[in-house]
């Protein structure tokens, strides 16, 4: 495969790992995603992954007014670490080397994130899973994805979602919503479109990292993006 990007950061929502179960894991689907990623890694594409934690915990939304924001965000960080461990083991079963790096010290779970070490792993052909978000409350895993992408000098962020691109309105509520093939960071921010949070979008813009938003329901879409096929929405 002639990939248009040499090094990528894939952001996957925790909910995507759960599939129709809504919580936990749909391992049949997780295996399909890992097989696809393992295949492109074997062909020389360097892959970092940030996974959300929504299949276990959705921060203050799940706190029912009882859990303070800082605690809720830290619980979310732990959920992302669990997801990284699960996905790393699936990679291992498929014969693909993966490393878990965490933004906070969790002995026995993963090694503490270090930019230079992460790049070394990527250059060795290992998939690197970045857990625990940024390590700080009040920052989403979208922001963690753009931060890690900037730090490792990723060529693009692949935003794998449950929706097939960026629309001018919620297509689940408005069947007349129009999907964009391309859109600028400025327009995303001005329209307050639900691509990533504003901090993540601004960081991607400031570092000139294109964001390709596409549906993960068909994992092969990752390959299509790397081939340069026009799927989803490109934010740049």
* Pairwise CA distance, residues 148 & 177, whole Å: 32
The domain spanning residue 52 has which CATH number? 3.40.1160.10
- The reply to whether 1 falls in a domain is no
Longest dimension (CA), the chain: 51
> Which are the contacts of 30, defined by CB distance < 8 A and separation ≥ 6?
17, 86, 87, 90
Reported as a pLDDT band with limits 50, 70 and 90, residue 20 is confident
Could you give the count of Cα atoms lying within 13 Å of 129 in the half-sphere of its Cβ?
28
Range of the domain at 96: 7-235
| Tens digit of each residue's pLDDT (9 = 90 or more) over 206-225 | 999 999 999 998 999 999 99
Q: Is the pLDDT of residue 1 over 80?
A: no
Using an 8 Å Cβ cutoff, are 60 and 119 in contact?
no
Q: Is the pLDDT of residue 129 over 90?
A: yes
- Identify which of 120, 104, 122, 123 has the alpha carbon closest to the alpha carbon of residue 112: 104
Q: How far is CA 75 from CA 58, 143, 216, in A?
A: 9, 17, 25
> Which are the contacts of 98, defined by CB distance < 8 A and separation ≥ 6?
87, 88, 91, 92, 126, 127, 128, 129
What local confidence, expressed as pLDDT, does residue 2 receive? 83
How many domains is the chain partitioned into structurally? 1
What local confidence, expressed as pLDDT, does residue 175 receive? 86
Cβ neighbour number for residue 81 with a 10 Å cutoff = 23
Work out the percent of the chain whose per-residue pLDDT is above 90.
Answer: 78
| Tens digit of each residue's pLDDT (9 = 90 or more) over 40-93 | 999 999 999 999 999 998 877 777 788 999 999 999 999 999 999 999 999 999
Highest mean pLDDT among 50-59, 90-99, 172-181: 90-99
Min mean pLDDT across 2-6, 64-68, 87-91, 200-204 is at 64-68
Can you read off the two tokens belonging to residue 128?
């690197």
- Identify which of 222, 171, 161 has the alpha carbon closest to the alpha carbon of residue 195: 161
Work out the percent of the chain whose per-residue pLDDT is above 70.
Answer: 100
Q: Is the pLDDT of residue 116 over 90?
A: yes
Strand partners of residue 11:
50, 159
- What phi-psi label fits residue 87: left (phi over 0), alpha (psi between -120 and 50 degrees) or beta? alpha
């Amino acid at each position: 495969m002639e990939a248009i990007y040499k090094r990528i950061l894939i952001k996957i929502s925790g909910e995507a790992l759960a599939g129709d179960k809504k919580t936990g894991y749909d391992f049949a689907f997780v295996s399909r995603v890992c097989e696809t990623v393992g295949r492109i890694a074997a062909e020389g594409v360097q892959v970092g992954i940030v996974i959300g934690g929504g299949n276990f915990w959705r921060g203050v939304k799940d706190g029912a007014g009882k859990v303070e924001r800082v605690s809720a965000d830290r619980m979310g960080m732990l959920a992302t670490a669990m997801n990284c461990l699960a996905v790393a083991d699936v990679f291992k079963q498929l014969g693909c080397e993966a490393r878990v790096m965490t933004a906070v010290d969790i002995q026995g779970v993963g090694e503490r994130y270090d930019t230079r070490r992460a790049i070394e792993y990527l250059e060795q052909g290992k998939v690197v899973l970045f857990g625990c978000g940024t390590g700080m409350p009040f920052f989403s895993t979208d922001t963690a994805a753009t931060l890690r992408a900037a730090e490792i000098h990723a060529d693009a962020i692949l935003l794998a979602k449950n929706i097939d691109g960026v629309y001018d309105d919620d297509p689940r509520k408005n069947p007349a919503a129009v999907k964009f093939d391309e859109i600028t960071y400025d327009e995303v921010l001005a329209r307050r479109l639900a691509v990533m949070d504003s901090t993540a979008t601004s960081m991607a813009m400031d570092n000139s990292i294109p964001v390709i938003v596409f549906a993960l329901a068909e994992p092969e879409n990752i390959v299509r993006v790397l081939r340069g096929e026009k799927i989803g929405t490109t934010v740049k």
